[in-house]
Amino acid sequence: MRIAYCEDEPAQAALVRAMILQWAESRRITAEVILYESAEEFLFKNEVFAYDIVFLDIAMRQMNGVELARAIRQKDKNLPIAFLTADRTFAIEGYEVHAVRYLLKPVTAEKLGSLLDELLETAEADAQDTDCIMVGEKGAVRKISESSICYIEVLGHYTQLHLQDSSAVRVKESLASVAAMLHQKELFVKCHRSFVVNLRYVEKISRAACALSDGTVLPVSRNSYQELNERFIQYYRE
């Protein structure tokens, strides 16, 4: 589960992060909590909102949490948003942006856990019939089928998805962020620090190169070869 929390008080952010990680450990799942100190930082670092939920404080410097929620809704109508705030006066605005919760500080582990349990149940149900990820491209959100991704490449501050039809989609996300979006993680393997390959399209592997069915040849690093080779053999045995 990938969670963002926008909060300008470091102590509060650390407390909520610790509660989320404790909840995740109790459910035996992996959770990543990314902290942002301002709405502006959140928008600058996220062209697409690849999170299972976003927690927002309301009283922040410059742009407040409600304004940030409205900005999120302009790009993503479905991303779960929850407010964690000491301010009761924005409850109506919370409903206007379709917030899933409006929790008053101090937030208890029980209330936070209850919300996360609901999200986890929904995510598990949705994952059974999804093969797509949502990525940001040129200011818009695009749905891409995971099965159409041949390989993923790092290009400076961008990540490029190379698709089966020979087209490519460039997004302002890290390779790790894009990989975290993938549902079929067992099919995608890092062959080099700058490349992740879809095993569906691999034809041949050597210690130095990975050849794909369309003729593309990707580099293979010494540190990645063993896992890549083992995963490739396992994939074709199944």
Q: Give me the CATH code for the 132-237 domain, please.
A: 2.40.50.1020
Q: How confident is the model at residue 153 (pLDDT cuts 50, 70, 90)?
A: very high
Burial class (CB in 10 A: 0-12, 13-18, 19+), 221: middle
DSSP, res 146: G
Residue 127 pLDDT more than 60? no
CATH topology of domain 2-127: Rossmann fold (3.40.50)
Number of DSSP helices (H) and strands (E) in the chain, helices first = 7, 15
Give the number of other Cβ atoms within 10 Å of residue 30's Cβ: 11
- pLDDT at residue 125 in the model: 62
Q: How confident is the model at residue 110 (pLDDT cuts 50, 70, 90)?
A: very high
211 touches 150 (CB < 8 A): no
pLDDT in tens, 19-36: 999 999 999 888 899 999
Residue 87 pLDDT more than 90? no
Give DSSP secondary structure letters for 196-223. EEEGGGEEEE-SSEEEETTS-EEE--HH
Asked if domains 2-127 and 132-237 share a fold, the reply is no
Phi, psi of 35 (to 5 degrees): -100, 140
Strands 2-6 and 81-85: unpaired
Compare 111 and 78 and report the one with higher pLDDT. 111
Q: Radius of gyration (Cα) for the chain, nearest Å?
A: 20
pTM of the predicted model, to two decimals? 0.56
Q: How confident is the model at residue 92 (pLDDT cuts 50, 70, 90)?
A: confident
Domain ranges for the chain, please list them.
Answer: 2-127, 132-237
